[in-house]
């Protein structure tokens, strides 16, 4: 069983953080769990429990049954639009102001970091509120996610698809290079609310460690990163991040 966070932060972690110049933060679905947005794996529950993530979040799934994939995304979009940022999101936005360089790399597609006031946000897996043409050669720009009757591109008539990164697809080139650069050059990297199982995002903490950075994991559960992380704080991010912010302000 992972050791739970008892409200105390290691003094050496706080000392290190106070002197850090370059901070990178990698977030996953757990950060939004306290806003009522199901984590990626929890989103495969209820009506969707007989599907595997690859059955709904892959180009093959979309080619086979676009209506089913759109229905799943419309359900999740409804949840994210109804949700509000939680204390973890707000603490990250406040922490950004304390460091000369602060890069928030998120696997989340829900815009909750931006809605909490975070500014330097790199979206690694896209954004659920937008759609794009499924024809890679089409010049059409991103549009708001469509209602059912409008699911074809107005320029080339190809099906519109959610503006997210599915299994087997490359991450947006610019976002991935910014993430690699942030991981390679940071003094400290936080990995928060992610199962650390989906690559290439899951490689970023390893990259930071290999360059000598301190890596702090915040997650109530153990992940493949836990054993390697310099510090593992086992509690919800909505508890740990405000505590971290408060401790830095003392």
The residue ranges that bind ligand BJW (CB under 6 A) are 28-30, 33-34, 39-41, 53, 57, 107, 109, 125, 164-170, 193-195, 197-200, 218-221, 223, 236-238
Nearer to ligand BJW, 39 or 230 (CB): 39
Give min distance, CB of 235 to ligand BJW, in A. 7
> Which residues lie across from 4 on neighbouring strands?
234
Give min distance, CB of 120 to ligand BJW, in A. 19
Nearer to ligand BJW, 51 or 101 (CB): 51
User: Taking each helix axis from N to C terminus, what angle separates 87-96 and 237-249, rounded to the nearest 10 degrees?
Assistant: 40
> Which residue bears the tokens 């901070």?
23
Give min distance, CB of 21 to ligand BJW, in A. 26
Give min distance, CB of 201 to ligand BJW, in A. 7
Nearer to ligand BJW, 213 or 225 (CB): 225
Give min distance, CB of 10 to ligand BJW, in A. 19
Neighbour-count burial of 82, counting CB atoms closer than 10 A to its CB (0-12 exposed, 13-18 middle, 19+ buried)? exposed
**Phi and psi, residue 78, nearest 5°:** -60, -40
Q: Apex CA 28: angle with CA 24 and CA 29, to 5°?
A: 155
Nearer to ligand BJW, 103 or 219 (CB): 219
DSSP state of 234: B
Residue nearest to ligand BJW (CB): 30
User: Which one from 50, 89, 113, 125 is the annotated catalytic residue?
Assistant: 125
Using DSSP's 3-state secondary structure scheme, residue 159 falls into strand
**Phi and psi, residue 20, nearest 5°:** -70, 140
Nearer to ligand BJW, 138 or 198 (CB): 198
| Contacting residues for 242 by C-beta, under 8 A, at least 6 apart | 87, 88, 90, 91
**Alpha-carbon distance 108 to 153, whole Å?**
25
Using DSSP's 3-state secondary structure scheme, residue 95 falls into helix
Which uninterrupted H or E stretch holds 250? none
For CA atoms 115, 30, 237, 15, give the dihedral sign. Answer: negative
Is 234 known to be catalytic? no
* Residues labelled catalytic: 125
């Amino acid at each position: 069983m992972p050791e739970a966070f008892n409200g105390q932060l290691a003094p050496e972690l706080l000392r290190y953080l106070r002197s850090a110049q370059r901070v990178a933060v990698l977030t996953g679905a757990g950060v939004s769990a306290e806003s009522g947005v199901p984590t990626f794996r929890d989103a495969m529950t209820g009506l969707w429990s007989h599907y595997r993530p690859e059955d709904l979040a892959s180009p093959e799934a979309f080619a086979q049954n676009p209506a089913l994939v759109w229905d799943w995304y419309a359900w999740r979009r409804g949840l994210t639009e109804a949700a509000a940022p939680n204390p973890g999101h707000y603490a990250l936005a406040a922490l950004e102001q304390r460091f000369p360089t602060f890069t928030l790399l998120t696997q989340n597609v829900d815009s909750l970091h931006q809605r909490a006031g975070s500014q330097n946000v790199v979206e690694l897996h896209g954004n659920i509120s937008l759609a794009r043409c499924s024809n890679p050669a089409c010049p059409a720009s991103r549009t708001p996610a469509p209602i059912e009757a409008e699911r074809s591109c107005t320029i080339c008539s190809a099906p519109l698809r959610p503006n997210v990164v599915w299994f087997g697809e490359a991450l947006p080139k610019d976002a991935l290079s910014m993430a690699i650069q942030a991981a390679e050059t940071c003094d400290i990297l936080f990995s928060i609310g992610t199962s650390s199982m989906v690559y290439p995002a899951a490689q970023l903490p390893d990259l930071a460690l290999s360059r000598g950075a301190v890596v702090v994991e915040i997650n109530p559960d153990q992940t493949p990163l836990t054993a390697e992380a310099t510090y593992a704080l086992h509690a919800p991010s909505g508890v740990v991040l405000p505590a971290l912010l408060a401790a830095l302000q003392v």
